[in-house]
Amino acid sequence: MPRVQYTDSDVALMARMMRAEAEGEGKLGMLMVGNVIVNRRKANCLDFEGLRTIPQVIFQVQGGNYSFEAVQKGNVFYNRARSVEKRLAKQTLDYWRQHPSKFALWYFNPYAACPPTWYDQPFSGQFKQHCYYEPKANTCEGAYIW
């Protein structure tokens, strides 16, 4: 049973996002970005309340901007999904979770050391250039369910 229900078009969209946000960090980096997307879809709390589909997560607007920089700036997000990224997207949709993105709802590349918090949420770890943050205890139970 997958972690969330999805369609083939969800897989392709998520694959494009994973590539655009983390291609330079290899397969593991792309998996971690994919995991944050799935976590946001599952969380139903904080900034991510009411998101019911993968497209809603990816095209979410917060503060007048898209939540993901790759959608905002375009870069490779608008390239077609390749088979390797589609396989990685399916992995995260079906079962894949790993520290530091296991429970993370946020990530970013600070181009410096990772700050201890991001919008008051605790740092969970770093993979290459991306810093990952999970919700504070008892603020988002949905982020911690399978």
pLDDT at 75 over 70: no
For residue 146, the model assigns a pLDDT of: 72
- Pick the more confident residue, 73 or 110: 110
For residue 9, the model assigns a pLDDT of: 96
| Mean pLDDT calculated for residue range 119-145 | 94
Confidence of residue 76 (pLDDT cuts 50, 70, 90): low
For residue 12, the model assigns a pLDDT of: 96
Strand partners, 133: 106, 123
Task: Give me the chain's average pLDDT, please.
Answer: 94
pLDDT at 74 over 80: no
Amino acid at 134: E
Token pair 């917060």 in the structure block, residue: 62
| Mean pLDDT calculated for residue range 111-130 | 96
- Pick the more confident residue, 77 or 100: 100
Sign of CA dihedral 25, 29, 30, 33: negative
Superfamily of domain 8-144: Cell wall hydrolase SleB, domain 1 (1.10.10.2520)
26-69 tens-digit pLDDT: 999 999 999 999 999 999 999 999 999 999 999 999 989 999 98
Burial grade of 9 (CB within 10 A; 0-12, 13-18, 19 or more):
exposed
For residue 84, the model assigns a pLDDT of: 97
